[in-house]
Amino acid sequence: MESSRNIKSAVQRFAVKMIMYLLFIISIIALIACDDKSDDSSKAYIPTGIDNCWVYSDTSRVGDKLTIDEDTIRVTGNEWIAGRMWWYLSGSSFAMGTLCGNYCIDIDTIFVIDTGENGKYMRVEFIPADDTPKKYSFVRQGDIGVHRTVQILPGRISTPAGIFTNCVIYSSDLDTIVIKPGVGIIYRHYVDNNRNISQKAVLVDCAIVGDN
């Protein structure tokens, strides 16, 4: 009887150890899926594989009203238009901004379709970073001039999706965007103190199927 109880206890301890080991392996796999500490400077800033998806925690504050949502963005298709491959996204998130809808990548520069006073037009959204900070400008929504500084971000960024290094940061007077090449946008923060508005998006999870 005592021997039977000992065997049962040993089996239970072994089962607990196996479950903990499997959970550990699963957590490592999940972290690796969105965490690559290698030099990804040659990878696309926004991976373009069909079914790539990103999940964000979006926080918005207007005055005293606070809203928190979880939004999913997915690459659903592509199409050649005027000699460029445009990629289509489903869903909406503050993180992706005007990328939600469609975007294209041409020689490492990311373009989007925006709408101004004279209708829709193509404009630059992100340019590649160099070893030194550089500034660029574009016109948003037809009449608002925006200037950004882009540079390689030293150190690492921690999000619920993983820990990222070799990131690229885009900063302007109002917002900050952090991109991990090969993964996409992992963080965005916008503050307009004049209108008492703030928005923040943090990458919670992602599945990068490929980069076509």
Residue 141 structure tokens:
């929504």
Q: Domain check: are 72 and 140 in the same one? A: yes
Among 9-23, 120-134, 139-153, top mean pLDDT goes to 120-134
Average pLDDT score over residue span 67-90: 89
**CB–CB of 209/34 below 8 Å?**
no
92 and 192, same domain (yes or no): yes
Is the pLDDT score of 37 beyond 50?
no
Is the pLDDT assigned to residue 38 strictly greater than 90? no
Check whether residue 17 and residue 46 sit in a common domain: no
- 112 occurs within a structural domain: yes
Residue 201 forms part of a structural domain: yes
Q: What CA–CA distance (Å, rounded) separates 124 from 138?
A: 6
150 confidence band (pLDDT: 50, 70, 90): very high
Per DSSP, the three-state class of 181 is: coil
- HEC profile of 15-70: HHHHHHHHHHHHHHHHHHHCCCCCCCCCCCCCCCCCCCEEEEEEEEEECCEEEEEE
Mean pLDDT of 22-34: 41
Tell me: do 143 and 160 sit in the same domain.
Answer: yes
Contact 31, 158 (CB under 8 A): no
Task: Identify the DSSP state of 136.
Answer: E
pLDDT band at 31 (very low <50, low <70, confident <90, very high): very low
The pLDDT score that the predictor gives to residue 144 is: 62
* Count of CB atoms situated within 10 Å of the CB of 79: 11
For residue 151, give both structure tokens. 């540079």
* 29 lies in the same domain as 48: no
pTM of the complete model: 0.76
Tell me the residue range of the domain where 9 lies: 1-33
- Assess whether 7 and 54 both reside in one domain: no
- The answer to whether 86 and 78 are in contact (CB under 8 A) is yes
Q: Partners of 102 in the beta sheet?
A: 88
Instruction: Specify if 212 maps to a domain.
Output: no
Alpha carbon distance 72, 203 (integer Å) = 10
User: How confident is the model over 171-191, as a mean pLDDT?
Assistant: 91
Mean pLDDT (the chain, rounded): 78
Kindly state the tokens that stand for 103.
């975007």
**Tokens 């926004």 identify what position?**
46
Q: What pLDDT was estimated at residue 54?
A: 95
The pLDDT, as a whole number, for residue 29 is: 40
Shared-domain flag, residues 191 and 111? yes
Q: Are the beta carbons of 211 and 182 closer than 8 angstroms? A: yes
Strand 162-171, strand 109-116: pairing = unpaired
The total number of structural domains that make up the chain: 2
